[in-house]
Structure 1
Amino acid sequence: MMTVVHVDLATKQYDVKIDNTLHLKIGEMIQEVWTSRKVAVLTDENVGPLYLADVVKQLSAAGFDVLPVQVPAGEGSKSLATVGDVVSQLAMYGFTRGDGLVALGGGVIGDLGGFIASTYMRGIAFIQIATSLTAQVDSSVGGKTAVNLEMTKNIIGTFYQPDLVLVDSTYLKTLTDRDLVEGYGEVVKTSALDSEAFFQLTGSITSIEDLRQHAPELSEKAIAYKAKVVMADEKESGQRQFLNFGHTLGHAIELLAHGQLRHGEAVAIGMIAITSRFERDGVSPKGMTDQIKQRLDAVGLPTSSEIIGTSAFFDQLKHDKKNHNGMLNLVGLTSIGQPKIIKKSLSEMPDFI
């Protein structure tokens, strides 16, 4: 049975549809929200060979004029150079402001596609088909788009909401265990932010097979929480900052790992690092670090890194987009379901870490 999470914002409303048959209904689903037009389907070299031809076929059958666009897989494609290449293809194909872009892929493709859609001719229609667990539970919902600049992650971006998000757990079957599991870092994060009930659910996941089996339920709960937060704070001026739990340290770790760590892996490490420090300082209750670590260990996510505490690590924190005049808004948990912003100056961070 299809689950629909409705996102209702001041200037935009859209649905996140969750069902394991959506991959068979892409043309039908998109036809419900878009009239006939030119549609670019943006994907990468990992997802493209698996699903691009079928998506193009379905959209063409539904009356759309389809331009397939494939970019290299990985974080390196979140660059201004890639944006320029894709925009050139759209312009050469004659795309106008009445056309649209579909992001078919994981978090990188969603971020890149959303940024291109938001900036091409000052904005064209945008839809996400999330094929990774990271995208399904987190990055496809909320309207954040971004590309990186050199060693600074997500520093160039926009808030741009899609017209539709499709989440189908069938796509997860072709992910390697590592590619699947990295998305679980975001699930554990969300469960800790949300409630005891969701945190208990992640506590029941004891293997990668468990994760695969419960992926639709986990996606539904994570999306519902994120949608609630985004509807209350679309532009991250208040409680949406809670979603950065583990990310300030995690982004620094991810960038300094130079591709050796996936986003969700770095976030997992970041959550343990920040929670252990706040537990030490009495912000978080005793035992919370171990509770989170047990959930990450169950599926093989990393929980430590030698990068933390290096001079390069502290230098990277200066470039974090959440650095406000030398102050970082760190997210800690006073209990499960009760996140709190704790401000730390950059000069305090070496002693804190």
Structure 2
Amino acid sequence: MKNNLTFGLIICCCFIFIKCKTTTEKQTDNSSFKSGKKWLDTNSEHINAHGGGIMFHEGVYYWFGEHKTEGRGGNTTLFGVRCYSSTDLYHWKNEGIALQVVENLDSEITKGAVIERPKVVFNKKTGKYVMWFHLELKGQGYNAARTGVAISDSPTGPFKYIKSFRPNAGTWPMNFKEAWKIEPDNSPLKWWTPEWYTYIKEGGFVRRDFESGQMSRDMTVFVDDDEKAYHIHSSEDNLTLHISELTDDYLDFTDKWITLAPAGHNEAPAIFKDEDTYYMITSGCTGWDPNEARSFKAKSIWGPWESLGNPSIGKDAELTFNSQSTYILPVEGKEHAFIFMADRWTPTNPIDGTYVWLPIEINQGKPVIKWYEKWDLNFFNK
């Protein structure tokens, strides 16, 4: 009996040891970036922060993203915006829901609305954390095309929802010609014709939405060296990008804005600045399906912006390695070190979406993205 008991204890201890070792391996095997693979947090659960962005503050990176759920309805927002924290970019701690949707059907962020591409920035003047995101109202599909803003005293939340709206109502873009402010007598109605493209490039949809405010869908927020912040979003039925200056408290828009690549059909904007040059990477508009990325550069945030073509090179470059841009992350403490962050969407089961993180190189004045099966931050020590 004693021998049997001893044997049983040994087996039990071995099982516990193996289980603990396996769990530890799951939690600590994050010493490099493996794009497209499931990325586990410190609780050994797949990171659920899609379409996200990262804020660095006081030695910590905070990753904010869409909390997806299972099934075809998983792209509606049933929980809110989730936050993770890390000090090394490899290991991420789940900090919970930073902005929570509510049960109140009268709220713009009621459960079942669509909250996408959340970006959080810290305002040094006010000491507040400000979150901007693309908001679609419940039951309206993608017709609302609004931008929403929330605020918090803590980087991990809870964030308090303030409002949503279509920006720049009653204000012309700074790069808009006077002649374009008057609607032509014979506006073309048939889409995708040469005449229609000209109509869009000469402000047809800007005029259309002048009074009600411009559409705002895929978006990001960029804080420049002088602490000025800019809201960059896909507008005009995803045909044209808009760059808008935010107020000093980052909670609203000023009257300063421009159009970028009118009729170019760009979405998923991601921006970074290297030395004195601004770079932007976007995608085309093919729904949840991947497509060929585009890139631009300018010496001023207000342009002129130069088109540089596809920044991806190598196998699957024409599909941006089966992903879509969401954010470009400057690596703290390293010069000329930027990470291209992208999503691999799985619309039939959104919670299974994975992430593509790749280093960006600047080659002859152009951003270049190559595929690496596995890489780490030592890449930037070259």
Same fold, TM-score > 0.5, yes or no: no
Structure with greater helix percent: 1
TM-score (norm 2): 0.29
TM-score (norm 1): 0.31
Structure with greater strand percent: 2
Larger Rg: 2
